[in-house]
Each structure stands twice: as structure tokens, then as C-alpha cells.
């Protein structure tokens, strides 16, 4: 009878652990412990056992009964918990956080749209570039001091992280498809970091090459962009400058959006972002004949203009955007990023 008790106990425990709900557990209880249950039958048969073994057997059956009842109680509790955890489709859902495009990506989309509306085609040229397209082909021979301005990261002697999107000018000309109306937007790199400089930033480069392209086309295009992107109230100005790849060359400034072009903050302190109310956005000019030649275009027949602006600075100058330090754009602080 010992063996019978122990195999009944093992069977009970393993079947109890396998039950999935209260009904299955109740059926098991009845099968073993009910009035006509298998364990109850063993208890009833106790009276037929020889008197000297009955006491020992009685103890064994009592202990076993306790184990069966404890197993039932534990399993009962687990089943209740499991059923409580079941999916309740009446509970309101938890809204997952929804992100949005980074403000620099938004700026790139917006800038592209303004230019594409007047027939510019979006292009992308390599971020890791050869010396030729970044400098040599842009009228900057290897010994020329003008290269210093670009504070370039070299990867290998002949390869560099492009410090400006002007690397796309000769590449675009080499495609041999005239006229050219491209807008090249890409990442650019320089060894600079302060309130208005980051080591990785973006530029957008416009290049137009055709017959009879004059400086008025350049001026008109820049004015059109400034009006569309910044609004009628912002002012731009051209300052004479020199780039080796354009002649004549200019820098373009816009009235500062942080101090509204006054150079002073409401606190009376001078604005740290701009110079006396003006912030430089980028360079521009008429394409130098040597650059047209490097791109296999005859400068006696064709002329062109080009401009290259910083995407981040341009976006920071938009009305209503108050970003006092360019490095904030590349911080990972969600409280800052969620505002845009």
C-alpha cells in the first residue's frame, strides 16, 4: 500500500501543476479527494488493514492528504493570479511615445523644397572626398594658403572628410549634362567647435551653369530663397569677399533672429551669437573660369554662379527659433529636441 500511496501522490502533484484553470483543478480534486475519490478510497480501506500496521499507515495517509491539500491550495492561488493577468481589452491602451524628424532633417527638407520649386535638382556627392574635388579642382593648388580656411580632417594624404559641399561642383560639371541647376546638400566636417561652430554640420550648395548667366541671377535666387525661407521681414546683405573658386565672391549675411538684428538682447547684454545684428550664412559668387575648365566646360561659352550655406545656421536664423548655441542641435537632450 506504501507504493500505491506514493504513486498516487506523484500523479496528483504532476497533474495539479499541469492544470490551466479552476475547472480542471476542481475536477482533479473530485477525482482524488471527492466522496468517491481515489485517495478517499485508500482512506476508507484503512479499516481493513491489520491493526499493528494501521497506525503507521494512518500517519502516512494523513501526511499525504496534507500534501495534496497544500498542492491544491497553491495551485488555486497561481491559477487565480494567472487569470487576473489575462489580457483585458477594455483597459485603455498606453500611447507609445511618437518621435519626429530631427530639426536638421526638417530644415533640409524645407530648403530642398524651396529650391526644387524653381527647378533645382537635388544631388548628393561623397562625404569622403579626394583632394582634387575639395581643393585642387576648385582653383586651390596644394601649396595655396587659402586651404587653411577649411580646417580639414584628412583621412589619408589624398582623402579627406569634405569640409564643404563645393566638392560637388566639378563632379556635377563632369556629368556633362548642361545646363546645370543643382542643389547639393550633405554633411561637412571641420576641426571647429564653439557657440556658432560644430565639427560635423551640413551645407547646401547651389550651382547653376548655362549660357549668359549673370550676377543678377545669383542675387535674384538668393533673394527668392531668403523671402521664402525666412519671411519678408528679414533682411539679407552681400559683402564682398574672396573665394578661390568664385570671382567675384560674396558672403551673405542675414539679420540675427535672436536679437532681431539689433546686436543687443532685451537684458541689455550684447548678443553672443551674431556680430552687431548680422550673422553670416554662407558664401557665393560667379564660378571661376578655372573651375569650369576643371569640369571640362568652356568658360568662353558658359558661365555660372554658386553659393554654399550652412544648414544649421540657416535654420537657427529662422523667425521664432531661439537657439543661442549651435551645439545644442547635436545634444541628445529630448527636452530640447521635442520643441521642434
For binding to ligand FA5 (CB under 6 A), which residues are involved? Answer: 164, 166, 190, 192, 197-198, 201, 203, 205, 243, 246, 280-285, 306-310, 312-313, 326
Kind of pairing between the strands at 121-123 and 180-189: parallel
Shortest spacing between CB 189 and ligand FA5, in angstroms: 8
CB-CB contact of 257 with 226 (8 Å): no
Q: Which residue lies nearer to ligand FA5 by CB, 64 or 246?
A: 246
Q: Which residue lies nearer to ligand FA5 by CB, 71 or 246?
A: 246
Q: Which residue lies nearer to ligand FA5 by CB, 32 or 307?
A: 307
> Which positions ≥6 away from 184 have C-beta within 8 Å?
122, 123, 124, 125, 165, 168, 172, 204, 205, 207
Shortest spacing between CB 100 and ligand FA5, in angstroms: 23
Given the C-alpha cell 545644442, which residue does it identify? 328
CB-CB contact of 163 with 187 (8 Å): no
Shortest spacing between CB 97 and ligand FA5, in angstroms: 30
CA distance 75 to 51: 36
Shortest spacing between CB 124 and ligand FA5, in angstroms: 16
Print burial letters for 60-82: b (CB count within 10 Å at least 16), e (below 16): bbeebbeebeebbeebeeebeee
Q: Which residue lies nearer to ligand FA5 by CB, 68 or 208?
A: 208
CA distance 326 to 278: 16
Residue-wise DSSP of 206-235: EEEEETT--HHHHHHHHHHHHHHHH-TT--
Q: Which residue lies nearer to ligand FA5 by CB, 28 or 312?
A: 312
Shortest spacing between CB 157 and ligand FA5, in angstroms: 22
CB-CB contact of 180 with 119 (8 Å): no
Q: Which residue lies nearer to ligand FA5 by CB, 32 or 135?
A: 135
Shortest spacing between CB 324 and ligand FA5, in angstroms: 15
Q: Which three cell numbers stand for residue 290?
A: 578655372
Shortest spacing between CB 241 and ligand FA5, in angstroms: 8
Q: Which three cell numbers stand for residue 52?
A: 499493528
Q: Which residue lies nearer to ligand FA5 by CB, 38 or 197?
A: 197
Amino acid at each position: 500500500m506504501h507504493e500505491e500511496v506514493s504513486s498516487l501522490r506523484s500523479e496528483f502533484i504532476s497533474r495539479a501543476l499541469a492544470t490551466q484553470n479552476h475547472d480542471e483543478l476542481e475536477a482533479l480534486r473530485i477525482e482524488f479527494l471527492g466522496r468517491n475519490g481515489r485517495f478517499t478510497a485508500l482512506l476508507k480501506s484503512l479499516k481493513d488493514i491489520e491493526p499493528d500496521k494501521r497506525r503507521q499507515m494512518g500517519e502516512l495517509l494523513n501526511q499525504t492528504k496534507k500534501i495534496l491539500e497544500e498542492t491544491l491550495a497553491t495551485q488555486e492561488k497561481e491559477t487565480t493570479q494567472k487569470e487576473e493577468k489575462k489580457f483585458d481589452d477594455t483597459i485603455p491602451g498606453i500611447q507609445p511615445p511618437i518621435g519626429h524628424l530631427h530639426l536638421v532633417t526638417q530644415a533640409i527638407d524645407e530648403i530642398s523644397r524651396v529650391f526644387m520649386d524653381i527647378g533645382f535638382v537635388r544631388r548628393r556627392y561623397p562625404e569622403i572626398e579626394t583632394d582634387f574635388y575639395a581643393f585642387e579642382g576648385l582653383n586651390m593648388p596644394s601649396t595655396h594658403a587659402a586651404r587653411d580656411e577649411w580646417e580639414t580632417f584628412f583621412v589619408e594624404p589624398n582623402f579627406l572628410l569634405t569640409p564643404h559641399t563645393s566638392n560637388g561642383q566639378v563632379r556635377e560639371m563632369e556629368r556633362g549634362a548642361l545646363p546645370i541647376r543643382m542643389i547639393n546638400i550633405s554633411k561637412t566636417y571641420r576641426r571647429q567647435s564653439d557657440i556658432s561652430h560644430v565639427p560635423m554640420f551640413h551645407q547646401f550648395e547651389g550651382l547653376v551653369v548655362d549660357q549668359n548667366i549673370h550676377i543678377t541671377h545669383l542675387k535674384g535666387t538668393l533673394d527668392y530663397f531668403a523671402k521664402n525661407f525666412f519671411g519678408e521681414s528679414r533682411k539679407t546683405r552681400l559683402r564682398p569677399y574672396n573665394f578661390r573658386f568664385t570671382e567675384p565672391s560674396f558672403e551673405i549675411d542675414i539679420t540675427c533672429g535672436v536679437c532681431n538684428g539689433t546686436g543687443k538682447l532685451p537684458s541689455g547684454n550684447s548678443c553672443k551669437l551674431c556680430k552687431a545684428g548680422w550673422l553670416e550664412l554662407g558664401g557665393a559668387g560667379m564660378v571661376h573660369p578655372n573651375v569650369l575648365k576643371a569640369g571640362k566646360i568652356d568658360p568662353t561659352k558658359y558661365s555660372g554662379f554658386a553659393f554654399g550655406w550652412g544648414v544649421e545656421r540657416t535654420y537657427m536664423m529662422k523667425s521664432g527659433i531661439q537657439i543661442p548655441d549651435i551645439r545644442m542641435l547635436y545634444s541628445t537632450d529630448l527636452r530640447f529636441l521635442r520643441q521642434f
